[in-house]
């Protein structure tokens, strides 16, 4: 099973709303990632968690707040977003953060529209 | 700063053709290189991972090669099928920040 599950698949939110994106994997992976992808562009790294601790924050605005409650779950809390934040948000995981043989597995993504 | 380039940006071929997608990177200090497939509006599916010490990997009709010293990788697709139509992305994993740096992708269309 190489599955990363993301919910919801689609989300429409107003600029004053608070919502969350959720990600789950049961592969025993200890590194989890959030990426943002705009149309016709490659994914851009936002956050990396390693052993449930935040390892990388790519200078993401504070209106995006990640959380890793346990080794299987990763959340992205959204608050006061802007229309330009509309994008496909991808969650990914890998066995560990370091190492040369680390395949990264992606979920199907959550389509976010900010109105 | 690592930069990844994919050529061509788009490719249209008739069914049954063998084809090659190219990926180049500027810094040869990589952990590995991974090829992904992305269907419209979907997530990324991992196709092949080549570790920095390896030269190639094969999976079914796919073969990926890596020449780290020259900063190049190719993805060879044999006997292409309409179901192969998708965007193909290569990404290198860099040490230090442990980031995955993506190319812009090649949009492949296989015509029946």
Q: Which of A35-39, A89-93, A100-104, B35-39 has the lowest mean pLDDT?
A: A100-104
Q: Does A111 touch chain B (CB under 8 A)?
A: yes
Please provide the average confidence, as pLDDT, over all residues in chain A: 94
For residue B94, the model assigns a pLDDT of 85
pLDDT classification of A62: cutoffs 50, 70, 90: very high
Taking an 8 Å cut-off on Cβ atoms, the answer to whether A102 and B99 are in contact is: no
Is residue A11 scored above 80 in pLDDT?
A: yes
Centroid of chain to Cα B77: 10
A43 chain-B contacts, CB cut-off 8 A:
44, 102
For residue A101, the model assigns a pLDDT of 77
Is residue A87 scored above 80 in pLDDT?
A: yes
Q: How far is B81 from chain A (nearest CA, A)?
A: 23
**Nearest 5°: phi and psi at A85?**
-80, -5
For residue B106, the model assigns a pLDDT of 97
For residue B23, the model assigns a pLDDT of 98
Mutate one of A104, A112, A113 to test the B interface: name it (highest B CB count within 10 A). Answer: A104
A31 neighbors B99 (Cβ within 8 angstroms) = no
For residue A1, the model assigns a pLDDT of 60
Distance (Å, whole) CA A1 – CA A27: 7
């Amino acid at each position: 099973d190489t599955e990363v599950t993301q919910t919801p698949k689609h989300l429409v939110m107003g600029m004053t709303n608070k919502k969350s994106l959720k990600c789950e994997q049961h592969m025993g992976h200890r590194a989890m990632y959030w990426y943002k992808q705009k149309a016709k562009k490659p994914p851009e790294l936002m956050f990396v968690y390693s052993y449930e601790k935040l390892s990388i924050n790519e200078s993401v605005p504070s209106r995006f707040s990640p959380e890793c409650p346990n080794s299987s779950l990763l959340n992205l809390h959204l608050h006061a977003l802007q229309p330009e934040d509309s994008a496909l948000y991808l969650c990914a995981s890998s066995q560990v953060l370091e190492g040369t043989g680390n395949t990264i597995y992606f979920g199907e993504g959550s389509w976010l529209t900010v109105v | 700063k690592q930069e990844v380039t994919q050529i061509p940006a788009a490719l249209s071929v008739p069914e049954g053709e063998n084809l090659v997608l190219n990926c180049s990177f500027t810094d040869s200090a990589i952990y590995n290189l991974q090829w992904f497939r992305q269907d419209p509006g979907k997530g990324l599916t991992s196709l092949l991972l080549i570790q920095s010490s390896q030269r190639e990997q094969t999976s079914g009709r796919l073969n990926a090669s890596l020449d780290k010293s020259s900063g190049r990788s190719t993805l060879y697709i044999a006997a292409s099928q309409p179901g192969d139509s998708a965007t193909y992305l290569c990404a290198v994993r860099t040490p230090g920040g442990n980031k995955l740096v993506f190319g812009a992708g090649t949009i492949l269309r296989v015509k029946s």
